[in-house]
Structure 1
Amino acid sequence: MSAAGARRVRVALPLLVCVLYAVLQLASGDRWTLFPDSYRYARAAEQYLGASRAEAHRTALAAFCVSRARKEAHEARLRPTVVTSERVLEAEADRSCVRRWADAEDITTADPRYQAIFSARPGYPLLAVPFVGVLGVLDGLRLLGLLTAAGGSLLVFGLLRRGAGLTPAAALTGQVAFLVTPLGWWSAQALGEGLFTMCVLGVLWGGLVLLRGRVGPGAVAGVALAYAVAAVTRYSSALVFAAFMAAAVTGTLCFSRHRRHRGAAVLAGLSALTAVLVGVAMAVLSLPSSQTTLQDTFTHHFTAPAVPDPWSRLFGLAGRYWQDWFAQQAAMPYFLALTAVAAWTLTRHGDGLGPLATATALTGAFVLTNHPLPQEADRLGVLMWTPVVLGVPVLVERHGPRLRTRDGTRLVARSWARHQVPDPQPRPVD
């Protein structure tokens, strides 16, 4: 194959992975559904399109009920004692859902404190506006979910291929790993996780470029833009992520002479500035804080009286939750095993990826600690999978049986060397 043909294949393969992923997701059928938060995002998108609050509620509720009715009917039809047709079951479930919430202001609660939590996060609904406007709520959000999941996987590929300098095979491994782990699954849902994950990956890509000393306006602008979009998508998580990034990069500056350069300082400064600006914006705009979300947790969406000391309750609940979490992981330790291998690989061979992946994983663990709810743990802690998605490709690169050149040197060493030291001579065509 000619060099031009090989380049076209390398470009086409990541896109082919995205297409195959989309086909598989569409084949899943009724397993994709709207969540209660999806209803609120859809309602906000309809309001941005000009609908009144009541009209937006009816449109979002209709889509929510249809998606839930399809799933309930499909699951009911799998029971051996159910003989009613799936169509009849779906119609009844849809009517029941609409009757239940038609006259309500929200399917959870109309409490202003609860509504403020979502109105302060306009990023995902604004992104959904053109999709909902053209295709409607269900089809629009389904397409948006596929695009955010595919986009996240392409960012992983670019981060590993262009940012880390890995081979196409290793970068494809990371792309596939992203799509088959909870990172990909939650990115495809009608929630803000997909957009926020793309922002995180954008920060990691630009941050890796800066951490390796390649300071340029593109990397700085990319990190700043990713932080900005993350802040309007989920400002509290953006603050935590930026704070952990600032701490991780500052630690790298202190303990690694190899990383003491302007790029690392710029990344640490950008991250610290983002954390400060988000904190100031929360205070100035009176955005819901951790105190509000804790009361939401312990009062079951403000339907019970406020608790006097939510923080002490949180510490107790979080302690019990993490004990149970480790017990579950010990019973089926695939996540712990993968994370341990990935962490070891990134520590030894990550060349800057290690601190960034650690900061991202700690963000997921911190968010989960602040919301230790078993029914939402998979979603809230999804960023804890980041070391696996980034570490496994490095392991493939370092120890894959076909990753040696004819002279026995490793491709990863040669690839990283090209990024560290400019080649003054044109390379011969293979």
Structure 2
Amino acid sequence: MPNIRTTQHLGLLGMLLIAVAFAGLQLTAVTGRASPDTKNYLSYALSLSGESRQEAGRRAIAYSCDSAQHAPIPTIPWTSRKAAGGSEAACVRRLTDSVAYWSRNGNTSGMTAPFANHRFMAIFESRPGYPLLLIPFVTLFGTVWGLWLAGLVVALAGSVCVLLALRSAGASWRAGLAGQALYLALPTGTVAMQPLSDGLALALGTAVVLGCVLLLRGREQTGAALVVGGLALMFSVRYSQALLLAAALTAGFASRWAWQRYRGRPQVRAGRAAVLCGVLAAAVYAGAHLLSWPTGQDSAQDLLTHHYQRPDLPDPWPAFFAQERVFWTAWLHRQATYPVLPVLLALTGWALWTRRSAILPAALAAGAAGLLNQAGHPNLDQLLGHRLIVFLWLLPVLTIPLLVDRPPRRPPGEAPPAGDDLVTSAKPPASPLSSSG
């Protein structure tokens, strides 16, 4: 027992040290992370906190133009940060003129400042979850430190969920800490620190993964609560990503259940997880429809009409699928030139082939959700970023750490026990923080 407690204490200390090291590194870039969409979320948060729409817009412009002074991405004229080489005053003047223009041209309602036409801003109006999270941070610490601290909390929360998911699946503390470190070091950590809704959606996605692992390990009440709560909160942050994740989990668990039934070893837990995720996927879709939030058709028109500044296409899908071919061709060329992700996915394949873990079905579903999300937004402007496809990076984050542990040994010819939902060990841990290995 002393050894078990010592291992647990060392694991907790390692978790804390990784978090502190990450926070220290992030202090080197408190500003400079703003993207063109940051001001939309910030103005939404300031409006929710009680400020007038005009004042919220002014403060969002001030932050966006100041934070992006050293940003390398060039401007998008009517929505962007300060142009490369331009002054902060010119940035403020341009965005202020843009607000005045769109106010005169019909964008007079909503929580976000009128940085663009009302139809485009409706996309951000349908994502209140992230602005709600920002309110206490920007109220107590101001816009600069508030947005930075919110990003830090989101990033660390996601990394801890990854650690807990690995531990709940039966992995050792070494593997759990490796997963936490990978989450923070890879683009998952970078995206989490950006002042955008993607990081919060990603953190909630890791909570859903943790819930799925607990479902498969027999802790059904806690697991179901995490899955339901995580997807419900993600609905308010990025409902399209919540729908894709729930649908991918449904397909993954249903396939697992069908395969095991075909082999004569049906898994009740996988079946229940499939039903739960299927019901939640339907609820997300119905909720977005009832609230009249933008649909896939709107997203395609947004891409093809430069954010609704040109007339809608009568039938956008041929042009949309042509854009898909262009995007994925360029994306594959990019991966061949800088093969970081392909190398990690190769290691992921090794882990999938050589390890058995309850985390694998959820990890595969998360990766599929990332690919589907990017497929829904084949925008070449995002080719060099990881924001839209970030859930794909959860696949190596959740699987490569399994290679740290030795595969379980069984007597020759012994089959895994019936109902064994891809576990690493026949003896599940009493809790995610208890010691094993």
Q: Report if TM-score (shorter chain) is over 0.5.
A: yes
Q: Indicate the residue corresponding to 1:23 in structure 2.
A: 24
Return the offset for 1:259: 7.0
Q: Indicate the residue corresponding to 2:414 in structure 1.
A: none
Return the offset for 1:91: 11
Q: Indicate the residue corresponding to 1:381 in structure 2.
A: 389
Distance 1:259 1:292, change over 3 A: farther
Are residue 209 (structure 1) and residue 219 (structure 2) matched?
no
Return the offset for 1:90: 11
The alignment partner of 2:331 has SS state of helix
Distance (Å, rounded) in 1 between the aligned partners of 2:337 and 2:14: 37
What aligned pairs does 1:11-410 form with structure 2 within 5 A after superposition? 11-28=12-29, 30=31, 32-71=32-71, 93-105=87-99, 109-161=115-167, 163-212=168-217, 214-257=218-261, 260-377=266-383, 378-398=386-406
Distance (Å, rounded) in 2 between the aligned partners of 1:343 and 1:306: 42
Equivalent pair of 1:211/1:259 in contact (CA under 8 Å) = no
Distance (Å, rounded) in 2 between the aligned partners of 1:260 and 1:220: 20
State the one-letter code of the partner of 2:248. Answer: F
Distance 1:259 1:211, change over 3 A: farther
> How many equivalent pairs are there?
395
Return the offset for 1:223: 1.0
1:262-311 per-residue CA deviation (whole Å, 9 max, x = no partner) reads 32222111211111111111222211101111111111111112122211
Distance (Å, rounded) in 2 between the aligned partners of 1:259 and 1:21: 44
Structure 2 unaligned regions, length at least 5? 75-82, 103-112, 410-421
The alignment partner of 1:35 has SS state of coil
Identity %: 34
Return the offset for 1:70: 4.7
Equivalent pair of 2:161/2:206 in contact (CA under 8 Å) = yes
Equivalent pair of 1:113/1:292 in contact (CA under 8 Å) = no
Equivalent pair of 1:108/1:301 in contact (CA under 8 Å) = no
TM-score with structure 2 length normalisation? 0.84
The alignment partner of 1:256 has SS state of helix
Q: Indicate the residue corresponding to 2:415 in structure 1.
A: none
Equivalent pair of 1:242/1:275 in contact (CA under 8 Å) = yes
Distance 1:216 1:363, change over 3 A: closer
Structure 1 unaligned regions, length at least 5? 76-88, 405-412
State the one-letter code of the partner of 1:95. Answer: A
Return the offset for 1:418: 1.4
TM-score with structure 1 length normalisation? 0.85
Q: Which has the higher contact order (CA 8 A, sep 6+)?
A: 2
Distance (Å, rounded) in 2 between the aligned partners of 1:308 and 1:349: 50
1:175-201 per-residue CA deviation (whole Å, 9 max, x = no partner) reads 111111111100111011111111111
State the one-letter code of the partner of 2:13. Answer: A
State the one-letter code of the partner of 1:121. Answer: R
Distance (Å, rounded) in 2 between the aligned partners of 1:189 and 1:360: 20
Return the offset for 1:6: 4.0
Deviates more, 1:308-317 or 1:105-114: 105-114
Equivalent pair of 1:243/1:272 in contact (CA under 8 Å) = yes
Equivalent pair of 1:69/1:94 in contact (CA under 8 Å) = yes
Distance (Å, rounded) in 2 between the aligned partners of 1:328 and 1:338: 15
Distance (Å, rounded) in 2 between the aligned partners of 1:306 and 1:284: 23
Distance (Å, rounded) in 2 between the aligned partners of 1:25 and 1:218: 33
The alignment partner of 1:301 has SS state of coil
The alignment partner of 2:426 has SS state of helix
Equivalent pair of 1:46/1:56 in contact (CA under 8 Å) = yes
